Structure 1
């Protein structure tokens, strides 16, 4: 199942029950995350949603990407859509 969100896009694999992130903002990537990893990321961003300075995430543990407050909220919305895809 394909997701094209505001900040991320990717493909959900129903058989493996994992999401492959293919784009973050305008950067192309290929990162597969399991439900527990997505939940950790979601919880972290929710906790820091109001931070005035935003947040910085990294791709490949070396490419920093700045997210402002609005982008954090959009990212959270995207993650909420992905959470609905995981089978319970």
Structure 2
């Protein structure tokens, strides 16, 4: 492979990586930090029951009409969940989202 082609490929890979990182960071935080949306003093603790899902819990506690995807994102972030798996008996902190 010539040096010119190698250089072009390297620039493309670095450029795409930068774009991906920027988009991922923006989407994850929706342009704001998590702390901009969560009010720590007002938290509810929910104990997971058999058959509960993050969607069902978010639906039950969502009194302000916050987008459920956003609500689930902040529940996961607050509780350090890496995926949507929750278990009966598990306690989840439900942040109040502005």
- Name the TM-score, length of structure 2 as normaliser: 0.27
Higher relative contact order (CA 8 A, sep 6+): 2
| Rg larger in structure | 2
- Name the TM-score, length of structure 1 as normaliser: 0.28
More strand by share: 1
More helix by share: 2
